[in-house]
Each structure stands twice: as structure tokens, then as C-alpha cells.
């Protein structure tokens, strides 16, 4: 189950000191703070100390946020607060900071008293807080809006979502089975650099584990999966080979769940000569995507990372590459041999499971998927390493057009770019350094990806 982003809510107001004498407003200010927490609670798990007025309270808030391992701190001034107070919290925490410059009322009524001002005058102190953030070299994000403004709330939700993606990537653990496909330069990346600047740790797993797990699976579990898949898909292949493909799919899932892995990059061909396996795992890798374990072929770590980013944002993602340009429709057929996410098919009942036509093992070709992806808005995403610590996300929004799948034992999409004709899009996609694989999810997600990239410190190129 996807975890909620954990947000520390720091609400402040200076009500009483040697010169200010408005302590009678504390109950009202605390109610405003509670209301702010309830708003944030619609989008995240909230960690919120009581209203903060003084440094020692800010220090207590910092300790609470650190102990709770929050993904984001949202700082709100209900009324002016001395800048040294939030600074105490910021100096002792490391989570990203969002300053929400907000108030409850749209303007100050002519009959307003000072009490109303006291719980709506955060802008008096926000510049002091943000200038301190700059001076201590703490990066921060800003949203200025009325409390109930839906546009402002959407901006806040996007930043909270991005912080959740950031956490997911920093804690992700990828299994790598086999090696990157020989000679593919875009798969030649520094895994330590990926860990440092993008997040996931890559963990080698011996393909032997899948072979052993296949032998240990009870026949009843394999039979159950064969029956379930035969009931919802068109299975058009040798029954024994399909059963072996189901056995392999379950074995891969078992190894990944036992190892608490969040994704898999595998060299599919690594099992072709092993007599205990002897087939390509395309059906199994597609099934892993469907059940929430993104999987890339050819041991492609960077595209797997892009898949996990999209899965966190959109719920499901898939793995594709460019196939054939469709010049008349200014589009591109995207596909990949046998592998894709059947959860994104146009009609699940039209998904076919067929023998792969690409890779023959000692026990046959193995099962692969053939279907058309559903029509609708989509976003392509590629993660690119341009050397050392220079990472880039290439993003392209577009539309998946209705298409009749060709008989090529592969999932297929007709992709039409949103912003460019297909020739210009191809030029721009290549000039931006995109690899030959890509991740894809439904929805126009560029803005959310940009917010995540800004939080993570990764360059973005929108194409």
C-alpha cells in the first residue's frame, strides 16, 4: 500500500512578549493552527506541535519533526513572528521547507478590530523568515494564497506529492538480475551517482534464486494463476509453456517480495540457457508492473527509476521504446518486445498472451503480452545521466491514440506529442539526450514532475 507523505506543520504567531500584549488570542490562534493542520491532513500524514511563539518551542518542533522523519515541513505564520524562531527549527532539520503565506480572510473589512488582524497578518513576518532561509542557505518553496483558495491548495498538494516521491526514491531498493545489455551506452551509468543524486540503491540478485524458487513453488499455486489468467486474457500458446511462464512469474514475485525490493531491472535473456527455466520472462515482468513492482528489461536502471517516479505520481507506469514513426498522423508507435503493463490496456479482455517471437530458450519461447494501450493523455519520462552528478529528466506530454495492435507479440501504443510535430519531437527528444527506453504513465504530469525534480535537485527538460 502506498504510504502517505509525512508533513511537519509549523504554525507560528507572536502573541505575548515584553511589548506585545495579545495573549488572550492564543485560543483563537491555536484554532487557526488546528484548521491549517486539518487542511494539510487532506493530503498527508500530519505531524504538528502546538502553536509556536518562542525559540524553545521551535526547537521542540524540530525534534518532533526529526523523530517522525517528516518528508516536508510546511511553515505558516498566522501573525508576525520573530525570524529567529523559525530559524531555530530550520537550522536543526533537513526536510524540504514549504512556506505557505496564507490568511483566512480575502481582505481587511472596514470594521475590523486588531484581534482579526492578529490571526490574519502572517505576511508581516514572512519576508523576515524567507530572508533568513536565504541567509542560512536553506532552499525553500513558496505558496501565497487564501486558505480556502483551491488553486493554492492544489499547489500545496503538488509539493506534498513531490515530497512523497522524493522519499520513495530515496528509500527505494532495486533488484538487478543479470547485467545491462552489452554495448548499450545509455545503460552505462554510475550506480553510486544514481544513489547519491536520484535515490535508489541497486542490489545484485543472482538469477539462480528465480530458478530455485520455481522448483519450490507448489503446483497448486501455479495452477491457480494459470486458471485466473486464462479466464481474463486470451491465451494463445502451448499450455505447458504457458504454465512454465506462470511458474516463473510467481517465482520472480517471491524473490522480490522476500528481498523487500521496490523494482526489478533484469537481463531477460539470462535464463534462456538454464534448463530449470529456459524461457524469456516477458509475461512475468509485465505482471510485476501490474501488481506494483515496476520492472525494466535489459537491466535498465535509469528507466526503472523513471517508472517508479511515474508510478508514485499516477499509480501505474509502463516501459516502452520508440518503434516506428507514423508520419501521416504525426505520431510514433511505442512498444517493447513482449513486455508492458497490462493494467494500462485499452480492453483487458483483448489482452493476448502469446509465445514470444524474439527469444528462444532451451524450453521454448516463453509467454509474452500483446495488446493496445488505452487512449488518453500520457506523459513520457526518461532519466538521463550526462556525466558525474549531472542528472536530467526529459518529459514529454502527449496523447495515446486508438490503435489496432499489430501481430508482433508486444504491447503497443500510438503516441502523438502534445507540443510538437513528430519530426520536431524526434529531433528534440534525441537532442535532449534521451535513452532508447522510456517510462510512461497516463495523465499530463509535467508540472508534478517539475516540482519533484526541483525538490530533488534534478534538471528537467520538457519536450
298 grid coordinates:
535489459
Phi, psi of 144 (to 5 degrees): -110, 120
CA angle 341, 345, 348 (to 5 degrees): 110
Q: What is the pTM of this model?
A: 0.93
pLDDT tens track, the chain, 463 positions: 567 899 999 999 998 888 887 889 899 999 999 999 999 999 999 999 999 999 999 999 999 999 999 999 999 999 999 999 999 999 999 999 999 999 999 999 999 888 898 898 999 999 999 999 999 999 999 999 999 999 999 999 999 999 999 999 999 999 999 999 999 999 999 999 999 999 999 999 999 999 999 999 999 999 999 999 999 999 999 999 999 999 999 999 999 999 999 999 999 999 999 999 999 999 999 999 999 999 999 999 999 999 999 999 999 999 999 999 999 999 999 999 889 999 999 988 889 999 988 889 999 999 999 999 999 999 999 999 999 899 999 999 999 999 999 999 999 999 999 999 999 999 999 999 999 999 999 999 999 999 999 999 999 999 9
Taking the C-alpha atoms of residue 304 and residue 225, their distance in angstroms, rounded to an integer, is: 26
Structural element, H or E, at residue 393: strand 391-401
How many Cβ atoms are within 10 Å of 357's Cβ, its own excluded? 15
How many Cβ atoms are within 10 Å of 330's Cβ, its own excluded? 15
Taking the C-alpha atoms of residue 331 and residue 58, their distance in angstroms, rounded to an integer, is: 55
The residue among 159, 151, 44 whose CA lies nearest residue 102 is 151
Domains of the chain: 6-170 (3.40.50.10940), 172-462 (3.40.275.10)
CA angle 384, 389, 392 (to 5 degrees): 30
Strands 459-462 and 140-146: unpaired
Amino acid at each position: 500500500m502506498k504510504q502517505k507523505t509525512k508533513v511537519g506543520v509549523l504554525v507560528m504567531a507572536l502573541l505575548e512578549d515584553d511589548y506585545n500584549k495579545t495573549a488572550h488570542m492564543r485560543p483563537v490562534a491555536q484554532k487557526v493552527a488546528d484548521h491549517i493542520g486539518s487542511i494539510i491532513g487532506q493530503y498527508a500524514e500530519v505531524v504538528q506541535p502546538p502553536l509556536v511563539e518562542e525559540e524553545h518551542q521551535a526547537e521542540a518542533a524540530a525534534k518532533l519533526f526529526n523523530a517522525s522523519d517528516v518528508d516536508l515541513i510546511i511553515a505558516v505564520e498566522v501573525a508576525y513572528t520573530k525570524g529567529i524562531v523559525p530559524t531555530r527549527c530550520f537550522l536543526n532539520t533537513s526536510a524540504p521547507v514549504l512556506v505557505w503565506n496564507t490568511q483566512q480572510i480575502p481582505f481587511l473589512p472596514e470594521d475590523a478590530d486588531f484581534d482579526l488582524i492578529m490571526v490574519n497578518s502572517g505576511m508581516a513576518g514572512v519576508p523576515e523568515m524567507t530572508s533568513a532561509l536565504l541567509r542560512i542557505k536553506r532552499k525553500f518553496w513558496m505558496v501565497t494564497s487564501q486558505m480556502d483558495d483551491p488553486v493554492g491548495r492544489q499547489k500545496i498538494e503538488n509539493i506534498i506529492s513531490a515530497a512523497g516521491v522524493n522519499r520513495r526514491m530515496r528509500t527505494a531498493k532495486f533488484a538487478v538480475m543479470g547485467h545491462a545489455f552489452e554495448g548499450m551506452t545509455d545503460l552505462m551509468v554510475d550506480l553510486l551517482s544514481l544513489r547519491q543524486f536520484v535515490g535508489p540503491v541497486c542490489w545484485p540478485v543472482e538469477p539462480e534464486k528465480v530458478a530455485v524458487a520455481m522448483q519450490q513453488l507448489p503446483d497448486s499455486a501455479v495452477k491457480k494463476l494459470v486458471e485466473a489468467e486464462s479466464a481474463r486474457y486470451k491465451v494463445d500458446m502451448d499450455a505447458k509453456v504457458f504454465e512454465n511462464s506462470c511458474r516463473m512469474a510467481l517465482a520472480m514475485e517471491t524473490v522480490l517480495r522476500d528481498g523487500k525490493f521496490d523494482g526489478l531491472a533484469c537481463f531477460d535473456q539470462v535464463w534462456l540457457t538454464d534448463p530449470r527455466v529456459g524461457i524469456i520472462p516477458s509475461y512475468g515482468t509485465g505482471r510485476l508492473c501490474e501488481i506494483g513492482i515496476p520492472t525494466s528489461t535489459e537491466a535498465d536502471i535509469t528507466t526503472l527509476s523513471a517508472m517508479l517516479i511515474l508510478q508514485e505520481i499516477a499509480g501505474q507506469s509502463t516501459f516502452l521504446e520508440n518503434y516506428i514513426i507514423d508520419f501521416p498522423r504525426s505520431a510514433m508507435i511505442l512498444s517493447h518486445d513482449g513486455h508492458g503493463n497490462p493494467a494500462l490496456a485499452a480492453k483487458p479482455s483483448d489482452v493476448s498472451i502469446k509465445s514470444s517471437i524474439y527469444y528462444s530458450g532451451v524450453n521454448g519461447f516463453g509467454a509474452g503480452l500483446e495488446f493496445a494501450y488505452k487512449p488518453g493523455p500520457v506523459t513520457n519520462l526518461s532519466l538521463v545521466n550526462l556525466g558525474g552528478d549531472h542528472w536530467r529528466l526529459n518529459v514529454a506530454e502527449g496523447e495515446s491514440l486508438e490503435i489496432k495492435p499489430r501481430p508482433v507479440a508486444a504491447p503497443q501504443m500510438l503516441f502523438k506529442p502534445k507540443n510538437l510535430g513528430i519530426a520536431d519531437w524526434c529531433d528534440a527528444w534525441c537532442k535532449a539526450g534521451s535513452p532508447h527506453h522510456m517510462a510512461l504513465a497516463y495523465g499530463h504530469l509535467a508540472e508534478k514532475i517539475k516540482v519533484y525534480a526541483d525538490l530533488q535537485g534534478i534538471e528537467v527538460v520538457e519536450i
